[in-house]
Amino acid sequence: MRITDLLNVKVKHKVYGIGIITEASDNHLTIKFVAKESKFIYPDAFEQFIEAEDASVQAEIMEEVNNKKLATKVQQQATEEARKTEEERRITDVPVKRNRKRIEDGFGPDYNVRHLARQPILTYQQVEEQFGIKIAGFGRGINRTSSTVVLISSVDRKKAGFVYHDHWTSDGDYMYSGEGKTGDQKMTIGNRAIVDAERDGKIIHLFVKFSPQEYYYQGVFSLVNYTYEDDKDESGNVRKEYKFRLRKQHLEE
């Protein structure tokens, strides 16, 4: 099935009811429902939020989804190999002046920004709409629904006066700091939601926020483990902080 074959396909959504796909790309679907038009991440939407009204069409779509996942995994492996080769080459190259600022320029090596997925990028309104959450404050947080835990990681590229210490590990896991800006962190409802996600049958989604219009979707993750260790709080005082190690899941049949 080509991506354009999804156009005009009727789908069902638990909240919005019947809708029709009006736009389709490799990463997004736009669906027009009776009450509104919404944007969804493709192919994740067909696994969690919507399904084709026609069962045979749904089966064909899911087969395509699985094929896409396999192709993506192969591509990621090829990309990683290419990155390693390019990195080795650049070690011996003379640095050249860059006129355009890249995402990488804002982070130190300890953030391991090479693991950051660059697409898709959603606005905060789209994140709220798709996942049924309300983003509070400056955007970071642990957002709970009946079936998901949506984590939003807000990073400070200036490295000054920032309380949370989220970052990628060198091997591609994501270290997510627990909630609580000052004093020893507690096992709050939000922190507990991460710990109990697997037990509760909830899917953990991760976004990295750069601005209100730039929420970089990182995919589905699972909790590997967590620690309770010393780090600085908002006031610069040493306190106990939860560190959740999250690992990206490549779902397959």
pLDDT of 45-82, one tens digit each? 888 889 999 988 888 888 877 877 777 777 777 777 77
Structural domain boundaries, residue 25: 1-96
Lowest mean pLDDT of 58-72, 85-99, 168-182, 214-228, name the range.
Answer: 85-99
Among candidate residues 96, 123, 153, the one where a domain is terminated: 96
Are 132 and 242 in the same domain? yes
Among candidate residues 96, 130, 146, the one where a domain is terminated: 96
Question: Looking at the DSSP assignment, which residues form a beta bridge with residue 248?
Answer: 221
Are 161 and 214 in the same domain? yes
Lowest mean pLDDT of 3-7, 29-33, 163-167, name the range.
Answer: 163-167
Among candidate residues 68, 96, 124, the one where a domain is terminated: 96
Is 91 among the domain residues? yes
Burial of 236 (0-12, 13-18, 19+ CB in 10 A): exposed
pLDDT of residue 138: 61
pLDDT of 27-37, one tens digit each? 888 999 999 99
Contact 250, 240 (CB under 8 A): no
pTM across the whole model: 0.58
Q: In this structure, which amino acid lies at residue 66?
A: N
Is 103 among the domain residues? no
